[in-house]
Amino acid sequence: MAKHGKKYNAALEKIEVGKNYEPREALELIKEISTTNFDATVEMHLRMNLDPRQADQQVRDTCVMPNGLGKSVRVLVFAEGEAAEAAREAGADFVADDDEWIQKIQGGWTDFDVAIALPQMMGKAGRLGRVLGPRGLMPNPKAGTVVPADGLPQAIKEAKAGRVEFRLDKTANIHVPIGKASFEADALYENMRAFMAAIKKARPAAAKGAFIRRITLTSTMSPAVRLDVNAAQGMD
């Protein structure tokens, strides 16, 4: 059994055993027990009542956090010509508009957080699968990162503002960041509410019975706080 430090154990003592917390109470508590020397990330972890082996029970979507995620997001856009210029004007940090960029990324350069591509650029971006795929950086229509030229400004704006992609993993769990421990509890609550609305909207038609089995809230290196699932699903 893993041993934890004094701070972790002190935080654990503040969590009532067996209690499922209301969302706002859970957020106040997670802020209180976050004791790292850096601004910890607050995350939600959902155990879903889905079978990830079934194609009709997959969940993959995006959510724009209204209060962002508390970090600077570096955006790279695959575009050429006028679209490349539009991407720069919209705030893209990097614009891969020639083969030199493709070669640079093939060489292992990935100093960006989100990659967005025009559909006609996916032929070139697709050659970078071995580099981008394992890092979760490959543009994908389902993630809202393959867009037409007129959709570039909005896609870049959302990526910068704190759009997150969430998906069902092989163990039927979904993990998503909702902000930083330094955020006001109200800001975290609004982000949580936006995500819960998105997850309900993303429910597959093949899902049966209770959609979410369990929700826990954590911050970096903190113990988990368990949420009341019904209260979380009924946030307003």
Question: pLDDT band at residue 2, thresholds of 50, 70 and 90?
Answer: low
Question: pLDDT band at residue 1, thresholds of 50, 70 and 90?
Answer: very low
Residue 125: its H or E element:
helix 122-126
In which residue ranges of the chain is CATH 3.40.50.790 found? 75-160
Q: Which two tokens stand for residue 60?
A: 């993959």
pLDDT in tens, 55-86: 999 999 989 999 999 988 999 999 999 999 99
pTM comes to 0.81
Confirm if 164 and 177 have CB atoms less than 8 A apart.
yes
Confirm if 75 and 114 have CB atoms less than 8 A apart.
yes
Torsion angles phi and psi, residue 221, rounded to 5: 70, 15
Mean predicted confidence (pLDDT) in 209-215: 96
In which residue ranges of the chain is CATH 3.30.190.20 found? 19-69+163-233
What are the E-state strand segments in 108-233? 114-117, 163-167, 173-180, 212-219, 225-227
Confirm if 235 and 199 have CB atoms less than 8 A apart.
no
pLDDT of residue 4 exceeding 80: no
Contacts of 40 (CB under 8 A, 6+ apart): 34, 180, 181, 219, 220, 221, 222
**Greater pLDDT, 123 or 142:** 123
Q: What CATH topology corresponds to 19-69+163-233?
A: Ribulose 1,5 Bisphosphate Carboxylase/Oxygenase (3.30.190)
| Integer-rounded Cα radius of gyration of the chain | 20
Candidates 8, 64, 70; CA nearest to 39 is: 70
Mean predicted confidence (pLDDT) in 168-187: 96
Q: Which CATH number fits domain 75-160: 3.40.50.2300, 2.70.98.40, 3.30.70.360, 3.40.50.790?
A: 3.40.50.790
